[in-house]
Amino acid sequence: MTTISIRLDDDMKRELDEMCDEMGMNITTFFMIYAKKALRDRRIPFDIVAPIDPFYSDSNMEQIRKARRQIKEGKTVTKSMEDLEAMEGE
């Protein structure tokens, strides 16, 4: 038998203790169930996802497609820095 130490925030530990108690188990049993499930399924027993980068949101991607169409159709205006600086004084 091996002992594993896990550091938990005090509030998280208290909440986990309370939840496990409501389920009729202790934290050790909780982690044993988790480990057995992970080993049986050969996967983490819940989905781990990263937030979607807002750059790739549907609305932003549509704006990018629109800009690409405008460039392809020659509907863009190109100005140099000098042109923009000259326009600033107008």
Q: pLDDT per residue over 36-73, tens digit each?
A: 999 999 999 888 777 778 888 889 999 999 999 999 99
Nearest one of 72, 81, 80 to 64, comparing CA atoms: 72
- Percentage of the chain surpassing pLDDT 90? 68
CA distances from 73 to 7, 27, 62 (A): 59, 63, 16
Structural domain boundaries in the chain: 54-88
* The pLDDT value given to residue 35: 95
pLDDT recorded at residue 40: 96
Residue range 5-23: mean pLDDT, rounded:
95
Q: Which pLDDT belongs to residue 48?
A: 76
Q: What is the pTM assigned to this prediction?
A: 0.52
CB 54 within 8 A of CB 60: yes
